[in-house]
Structure 1
Amino acid sequence: MDPILVENRGGWSIVTLNRPDRLNAFNPDMHRALAEALDRLGSEEDCRAIVLTGAGRGFCAGQDLEAVGTDTELDQTLERFYNPLVRRIRAMPKPVIAAVNGVAAGAGANIALACDIVLAARSAKFIQAFAKIALVPDSGGTWFLPRLVGEARARALALTGEAVGADKAADWGMIWKAVDDAALPVEAEALAAHLATQPTAALALIKRAFDGSAANTLDAQLDLERDLQKVAGALPDFREGVQAFMEKRPARFTGRPS
């Protein structure tokens, strides 16, 4: 069974974590297959949005502990697999949507939070499960959580391992939206189809702007916005957007940088 499934939907793609018997927990084969799929989709101009989801009853239970055993060099697993995965998602030059179905635990929760937009079924739960096995949140958890839900909630979630349901996650600003379970695929696919019609190169610049804001002063961020706006203003989609506005018609964006 392939650990990763990729389905081309014409303009966008669905990437499915496919180890449902293990709640889509990661092992090296799944890491390598996911990295290959994301690298390929990232370079394909015809793919303008990506949905990341899980097969079966859960999104991702994090690391498959049976694949680790008693290995104490966990830093090497992070360095080889998880850290590159988070960086790959954040640097993807097109939107990545997480469609969280069921449990997202440990690294699985933080990989979801690394995506640009997170939709979750109401039955979904986000769990910082690390302390339960005497580990530290990884895969960006200690970076994403304080920025999304605040220091107090982030510390409590990490120290207690308490599960957060989708509705609460949405109320807290951890995710964008909670939807009925049956509606999750429809909502995720509609969002991806919409984003696939938008100015993809400009969306990539928006991602860069938000990523830069985490470390920038206001002055530095203003400069970054200026520089990125210069790039955006030279895109053919900017000219098309203005023309469409003037002609009172929907814009026909190509998504391409030139």
Structure 2
Amino acid sequence: MELIKVTDHYAPAVALIELNRPKELNALNPQLMGELRDSLVRLDKDDSVRAIIITGNERAFAAGADIGAMQHFSYMQAYQSGFITRNWETLKQVRKPVIAAVGGFALGGGCELAMMCDFIIAADN
């Protein structure tokens, strides 16, 4: 299953990245973060894209780190893997405006993801 859905031309010159783990409230795991990083790099290089929107679904933008994905990590492995935070550097380097469209939960790493974007548009929920 794709953990990231990318619509390159959601609107003229706008790409939409949708986090796609609805049962897990879009909890951030290494695979999702890798797909997000790869999508951001690709869209940043695409001259037809002038802005990028990152969103989740109605229940959650992202419910933070997937603790289940880290349950077998030792303290040192968890610290060294930095599977969430190492991707912030990629997001920071995107030259195009990145907009977080936040609806539902944005907890822990999900809140960090939204805050790393250039703009946050939040729903009432």
* Equivalent residue number for residue 116 of structure 2: 114
Q: Is the 8 A contact 1:61 1:103 kept in 2?
A: yes
Tell me the number of residue pairs that the alignment of Structure 1 and Structure 2 aligns: 121
* Equivalent residue number for residue 17 of structure 2: 15
Task: Report which structure shows greater RCO (CA 8 Å, sep ≥6).
Answer: 2
Q: Is the 8 A contact 2:53 2:100 kept in 1?
A: yes
* Equivalent residue number for residue 6 of structure 2: 6
Matched, 1:74 2:70: no
Letter in 2 for 1:76: Q
Question: What stretches of structure 1 move > 3 A for 4+ residues in a row?
Answer: none
Q: Which has the higher strand share?
A: 2
Per-residue CA deviations over 1:155-181 (Å, capped at 9, x if unaligned) read: xxxxxxxxxxxxxxxxxxxxxxxxxxx
Gap regions ≥5 residues in structure 2:
none
Per-residue CA deviations over 1:84-128 (Å, capped at 9, x if unaligned) read: 3211112111100000110100111011001000010111xxxxx
* Equivalent residue number for residue 160 of structure 1: none
Gap regions ≥5 residues in structure 1:
124-258
RMSD over aligned CA atoms reads 1.2
Identity of aligned residues (%): 37
Letter in 1 for 2:35: A
Per-residue CA deviations over 1:208-234 (Å, capped at 9, x if unaligned) read: xxxxxxxxxxxxxxxxxxxxxxxxxxx
Whole-Å separation in 1 of the counterparts to 2:110 and 2:80: 18
Q: Which has the higher helix share?
A: 1
Whole-Å separation in 2 of the counterparts to 1:56 and 1:65: 22
**TM-score, normalising length: structure 2:** 0.90
Whole-Å separation in 2 of the counterparts to 1:97 and 1:112: 8
**TM-score, normalising length: structure 1:** 0.45
